[in-house]
Structure 1
Amino acid sequence: MAYEEIPLGQIHPTGWLKQQVDVMVKNSTGHLDENHKKIKTDNGWLGGKGDDWEETPYWLDGALPAAYLSGDSALIKKVLNYVNWTLAHQRPSGFFGPYSKYEKETGKMAETGDQAADWWPRMIMLKILQQYYQVSHDPRVIPFMTKYFQFQLKNLKNTPLVKYTEWAQSRGGDNLMVVYWLYRQTKAPFLLELGDLIYSQTTNWTDLLGNRDWAIQAAYQQNDQHWMDRHAVNVGMGIKLPAIYSQSKKDPHYLQALKTGFRDLMTLHGLPHGMFSGDEDLHGNDPIQGTELCATTETMFSLEQIISITGDTEYMDALERMTFNALPAQITEDFNGKQYFGMANQVEVKRGVYSFSLPFWRGMNNVYGPYSGYTCCTANMHQAWPKYMSHLWYKTTEGGFAALVYGPNKLESSLASGVKVQIEEKTNYPFEDQIQFNINPEKKQSFPLEFRIPSWCEEAIICLNGKELQREKGGKIAKITREWNRGDQITLQFPTKIRTQNWGKNSRSVEYGPLIFALKIQEDFQKNVHPQEGEYFEILPKSDWNFAVLKKFVDKPAENAQLIKKSFPGNFLWNQESAPLEIVLEGKKLPDWKSHAGVAYQPVTTRNGDYLGPAEEKIEKIILIPFGFTRLRIVAFPVVK
């Protein structure tokens, strides 16, 4: 592994990230079990007859780290009820979790795989227990996992992952990840044998990614053949499989397949906000396609694992891009409502079919609501921010620390020698381009620190105690090894320019640092109630959105746009009022660019990027804000002269 993960509990969010996790805990993350009937009623993960599948562990997979990151004692107590029930009710055979159909009908404990139940939701609970062990060192966890993995090794040949559902087959990489984590703790040889068995029964994401036909075919094939291989959430989980398996095989083939496939995925299906399309299937790079929220949260987690294994800055850049753009735009500012599918160019939010490959007969996939669309995302959205916060630092192979993605936090960890180190990362990144690290070992100590330089930064300036120390090119890792004293300070300066990038249908995005900017549209929120899916919001535009940017801006963006920095909000929320940055530039309205059934289909442009249809002569000033603060927006712009 290029880097080792920092255990949960050693990284503490501060600044706007602490405000983010506090909003979550105050609202749905802290109270989903009180409000979501599926989790609230007679829960199977507490021994009842209710939810015995994925939604309860999905919620816990975010609620547990959020509880410890926020320090909220009520939520810690709440999540430990589920953890303790799980640990206390493992069967003698090693099987665990909600009682299986066989167990409920016979009153006997499951002894074999065919008496057990779906492997998939137990994979999520294993992730939860891994995090719990990191923060607690509870002596029950290692024997519990060992016993369950012995049960799997004994039974998977006759009761394979696919026995109960195809979800387990598609998502076996999550199972494998914890098997290898346990191997690093115990070195038990049987775990490597089990790892090979799980890999052989899991969808072969290595071949799909490396052989290329998969990503190409998914751009045009939308039928029911092999659709589980195109399901965006499966893809988000599956991309980490070759990286995880490479840990035991030491063969460059696996990481090369990942590299090839990830680039194909983002080229053929990538959208300006940093995620690939998936509504529910992969659906090309047209900016009016949707992305499922679960796909974003799972892709983020996969990238956090891939970063640890590969040390490749390409994945670090990708993680920041989707975290700061795609993720927050699809969740309401109070973290109570979400969109099942969100579009890059989104000019209305309303009940309807839009251009999704999964229409869903109630037409509720695009609206914001706690339970609108499928409720998998209601439960799974909670892991995204806490997992990002708990991966702001990694340990290096030389015994130091690496900041590979950024945000305000405080690290409290120890060196191999036992010397305690505290590092405070002070910044409003990504809304500013400077990051200050205050380094405080408990005594003078030599160790390396590593810092990723984002690829969008041409050259970073690194200062030590106020004096320039070195410069480093974008896309590189800067390494500083020295004897650190209490009070030492490292400052990273990332000179940042407004830039543009070409996307699907020959459209252009406007970018600044890791942030993607979108047209600020006046939003009219309308609250409604659906008889089956409860409260939801529709959002309609109150201002024009059909703007193109000018060719002169595309040619020289820094010279033809103005960046406006506003006061950073004391109460940080992902809404238009809180946006601390604006970009002002010139545009023209396109009278023929209108929405059809709520979809703003992209105007056709020539190969040189110009839209040749009618455009109003009048040049207007248009205001753009970071994508994450929008619910309606244009982010992929046509270009006119």
Structure 2
Amino acid sequence: MALRLWLAHFALTGGSILSPPRWRRLATGSIRPAGWLQTQMQLQASALTSHLPLFWDNVRNTSWLGGNADNVGGIHESTPYWLNGAVPLALQLQDEDLLQTVEKYIEGILDRQTQEGWLGPDTDKTDFWSRYPFLMAMVQYHEALPGGPRRKRIEEAALGFFSAMRRRLEGGVPLTVWSSFRTHDLIWTIHYFLDVLQESAEPSVLRDLAAFAARLHSQGFDWTGLWYNASSFAKEAVVNTSMQTHGVNNAQAVKSGVVWSRQSGNAPAGWAETWLAWEQLQRYHGQPNGAFSADEHLAGRMPSRGTELCVVVESMWSLALASQLAPGDEEAVLALDALESLAFNALPGSLSEDLWSHPYLQFANSYEAVSNEPDHIWGHDGDQSAMYGLAPNYECCTSNFHQGYPKFAGSLFFEDLGQQQLISAVWAPSVVNATVGRAHVELRTSYPFNSSVEYWIRNDEPFTLKVRIPKFLRTSTSTRFVRVDGHTVKAEETAGFLHLSIPAAAERLAVKIDFVMAPSVQRSEAQGVSVYFGPLLLALDLNEQWQLVQRYTFNAADWNTTAALAWRLAMPHSPRLGTPRLSMPGPRPMASSDCPVALEATLLAVPPSAWPIQHGAPGPVNGTCRAGEQVQRTLLAYGCTSIRISALPVAEEEPLIV
């Protein structure tokens, strides 16, 4: 049906294959991290991203280069996952050693492409899925290359694979499980090459590519009709599992509506599908850190249920695409709000401060993360899922988390060439070389750890700087005062954005925006109360204790992490919060011992009987609970903690003094 509808649309539009995206992505490497973000990404590069090819068999001895590893569960995803993050990381950091490593893998894989056009190992004719992340890595690599034979080689390799896969589908090989539920990852890459080849390829090649994408859309799982808009959508923790209850599938599916809208030509309808997906996931499974729970499968709103690291990074990529492909600013700003929350909370909250280890699952509420937990609250993963380690529970997150920071950095700015606008989508320290205005822009800030942003700009031509205002700053007042070229001006906020005219000039401090961040308390019927500072979720400092379980090569290790301080604390009905202590991010920006944001709070002790343990985790926090004496405790940025309490119960009106 979708294929027939697209062919009809193609005929009616006179052969226009894809609608142009409202905003243009800048080529990978055009946006580089700076400040604390650069430090965090350099930590990642010097840790697992650069070392996996040296000692971890799934990458070092990968089947993609003729080895016998990277075939867990019959799929070959580890090396493509790793490349999907290592490629942009190397380009954004201009890390020559890492770039040489990824180029060695890319060239080696392309050298092994078959005459049929198949890429990668071919042990299972239906294993289409693991090619999807490899092709996304190729897109990012291709973007950064100048015109020439290497760029041409990637185009030919992609076209060869698309032809091979199309012939298999036409020959009766089905889209199965992962390849069906994640179809739009591949459609996105097809659309990229359609854009690239639009001026140079024969019309028949372009039509075949678009028809192939339409076939994939038609044969892939109908996420909107059969899940997000269906009465069967899971509204509580899943017991009976299926592919549509799988957390990572859902995170990737969020993008499906906006991705397909470029080919359907209906951006509002595509956005509606994407945002319905995200709203459903948040309404019934959302967590205080901005993610949704999925301890393998959707797990409800209890803060002690887990979220897989892969869910976080795939959600971030889906939301970045949703913002770029949204039909208007009102929609784009919603996706950027959600992306910011994940990037500043859930992503660092699922990585160790040195980025050498991670848990399979993170929790908004937890008092320990240890190995061998046979009595655990999560529903569908193994006993090692909470521990910080090299590859706890399952290998996918070890290779897939690498895309989180690089793709976030690549989404800090977009362009609107028609309007000559440079869109500053999320505040984070960065440097961008833009097409509009032929501008070089440095965003100097420590946000979200401070309350000022500066745009240092050198531009040959005038352009409009379009600045998203974070959600916590958007109010009913649409006028705010900012400094533009040294002068205070009134700027109207429209649909969450400021529009600032930047005349051509030599390098200078062109725009400065100062703002106020204050602690706020958000209440939820299902999740008690959580404290935020601007976009940052704050969490109880438990004075984490780390004990080595197993050492691997280099600095990779498994750890048990436990709390040295009491975790049973409640928020008074009238919260008593101090003034946040802010400091510059250090050499480990997300270290608990040197967290850039700390806040003292007056809390109330809770007896064990009022907040019992449930399957090795803090029990529910909905409703009120009995509480005792006052306790002064420190709250830290959630991303600086590895175990934490970020959703607290509310004390009863009259605390019980013990």
- Provide TM-score, normalisation by structure 2: 0.87
1:552 aligned counterpart, secondary structure: coil
Structure 1 pair 430–160 and aligned structure 2 pair: CA distance change class (3 A): farther
1:156 aligned counterpart, secondary structure: helix
2 CA distance for matches of 1:91 and 1:74?
29
Deviation for aligned residue 1:599: 0.6
Judge conservation of contact 1:153–1:194 (CA < 8 Å) in 2: yes
Structure 1 pair 475–219 and aligned structure 2 pair: CA distance change class (3 A): farther
* Structure 1 unaligned spans of 5+: 102-114, 554-559, 606-610
1 CA distance for matches of 2:57 and 2:155?
33
Matches within 5 A, 1:64-103: 64-98=87-121, 100-101=122-123
Aligned to 1:228: 243
2:489 aligned counterpart, secondary structure: strand
Instruction: Indicate whether 1:481 and 2:501 are aligned.
Output: yes
Aligned to 2:416: 396
Letter in 2 for 1:335: L
1 CA distance for matches of 2:339 and 2:622?
31
Judge conservation of contact 1:561–1:585 (CA < 8 Å) in 2: yes
Deviation for aligned residue 1:48: 3.0
Summarize deviations over 1:512-561 as a string: whole Å, max 9, x none.
Answer: 11100011111111111399xx94111111111111111112xxxxxx42
Judge conservation of contact 1:60–1:79 (CA < 8 Å) in 2: yes
Structure 1 pair 636–583 and aligned structure 2 pair: CA distance change class (3 A): same
Judge conservation of contact 1:208–1:261 (CA < 8 Å) in 2: no
Matches within 5 A, 1:262-411: 262-310=278-326, 311=329, 312-351=332-371, 352=373, 353-360=375-382, 363-397=383-417, 398-411=419-432
Aligned to 1:106: none
1:207 aligned counterpart, secondary structure: helix
Letter in 1 for 2:392: S
Deviation for aligned residue 1:166: 0.8
Aligned to 1:571: 587
1 CA distance for matches of 2:168 and 2:515?
53
Judge conservation of contact 1:271–1:503 (CA < 8 Å) in 2: no
Deviation for aligned residue 1:588: 0.6
Aligned to 2:190: 179
1 CA distance for matches of 2:235 and 2:318?
20
2 CA distance for matches of 1:501 and 1:209?
30
Judge conservation of contact 1:94–1:147 (CA < 8 Å) in 2: yes
Deviation for aligned residue 1:160: 4.5
Letter in 1 for 2:221: T
Letter in 2 for 1:158: G
Judge conservation of contact 1:461–1:494 (CA < 8 Å) in 2: no
Letter in 1 for 2:444: K
Letter in 2 for 1:48: G
Letter in 2 for 1:458: R
Summarize deviations over 1:581-639 as a string: whole Å, max 9, x none.
Answer: 1122211111132434421102451xxxxx1x4311x2222211110001121111111
2:619 aligned counterpart, secondary structure: coil
Judge conservation of contact 2:492–2:499 (CA < 8 Å) in 1: no
Identify which of 125, 146, 152 aligns with 1:139.
152
Aligned to 2:84: 61
Aligned to 2:485: 465
Aligned to 2:166: 153
Aligned to 1:219: 236
1:425 aligned counterpart, secondary structure: strand
Identify which of 624, 627, 633 aligns with 1:615.
627
Structure 1 pair 474–350 and aligned structure 2 pair: CA distance change class (3 A): farther
Aligned to 1:551: 573
Structure 1 pair 118–549 and aligned structure 2 pair: CA distance change class (3 A): same
Deviation for aligned residue 1:482: 4.2
Structure 1 pair 59–601 and aligned structure 2 pair: CA distance change class (3 A): same
Identify which of 534, 540, 544 aligns with 1:519.
540
* Structure 2 unaligned spans of 5+: 1-20, 199-205, 654-658
2 CA distance for matches of 1:511 and 1:471?
27
Summarize deviations over 1:492-513 as a string: whole Å, max 9, x none.
Answer: 2333232122235351110111
Aligned to 1:433: 451
Aligned to 1:243: 258
2:571 aligned counterpart, secondary structure: strand
1:140 aligned counterpart, secondary structure: helix
1 CA distance for matches of 2:600 and 2:491?
31
Of 81-90 and 117-126, more deviation after overlay is shown by 81-90
Aligned to 1:107: none
Structure 1 pair 569–455 and aligned structure 2 pair: CA distance change class (3 A): closer
Aligned to 1:191: 209
Instruction: Indicate whether 1:624 and 2:635 are aligned.
Output: yes
Judge conservation of contact 1:329–1:627 (CA < 8 Å) in 2: yes
Letter in 1 for 2:249: N
Aligned to 1:47: 66
Judge conservation of contact 2:238–2:297 (CA < 8 Å) in 1: no
Judge conservation of contact 1:29–1:63 (CA < 8 Å) in 2: yes
Deviation for aligned residue 1:302: 1.0
Instruction: Indicate whether 1:423 and 2:441 are aligned.
Output: yes
Deviation for aligned residue 1:142: 1.6
1 CA distance for matches of 2:229 and 2:197?
35
2 CA distance for matches of 1:385 and 1:626?
18
Letter in 2 for 1:272: P
Letter in 2 for 1:392: L
1 CA distance for matches of 2:498 and 2:509?
17
Letter in 1 for 2:79: T
Summarize deviations over 1:50-73 as a string: whole Å, max 9, x none.
Answer: 325000111111111111122221
Letter in 2 for 1:435: V
Letter in 1 for 2:422: F
2:64 aligned counterpart, secondary structure: helix
Aligned residues: 599
Aligned to 2:650: 639
2:546 aligned counterpart, secondary structure: strand
Instruction: Indicate whether 1:497 and 2:507 are aligned.
Output: no
2 CA distance for matches of 1:464 and 1:79?
42
- Provide TM-score, normalisation by structure 1: 0.89
Aligned to 2:12: none
Aligned to 1:10: 30
1 CA distance for matches of 2:226 and 2:440?
43
Aligned residues: CA RMSD:
2.0
Aligned to 2:272: 256
Summarize deviations over 1:183-212 as a string: whole Å, max 9, x none.
Answer: 111231222211110111211123246515
Identify which of 112, 133, 155 aligns with 1:124.
133
Of 476-485 and 29-38, more deviation after overlay is shown by 476-485
Judge conservation of contact 2:423–2:467 (CA < 8 Å) in 1: yes
Q: Percent identity?
A: 26
Deviation for aligned residue 1:412: 1.6
Judge conservation of contact 1:60–1:128 (CA < 8 Å) in 2: yes
2 CA distance for matches of 1:535 and 1:597?
26
Letter in 2 for 1:495: V
Judge conservation of contact 2:450–2:582 (CA < 8 Å) in 1: no
Aligned to 2:16: none
Deviation for aligned residue 1:161: 4.9
Aligned to 1:602: 620
Aligned to 2:219: 201
2 CA distance for matches of 1:258 and 1:181?
19
Deviation for aligned residue 1:406: 1.7
Deviation for aligned residue 1:230: 1.1
Structure 1 pair 494–329 and aligned structure 2 pair: CA distance change class (3 A): same
2 CA distance for matches of 1:594 and 1:475?
45
2 CA distance for matches of 1:15 and 1:530?
31
1:508 aligned counterpart, secondary structure: strand
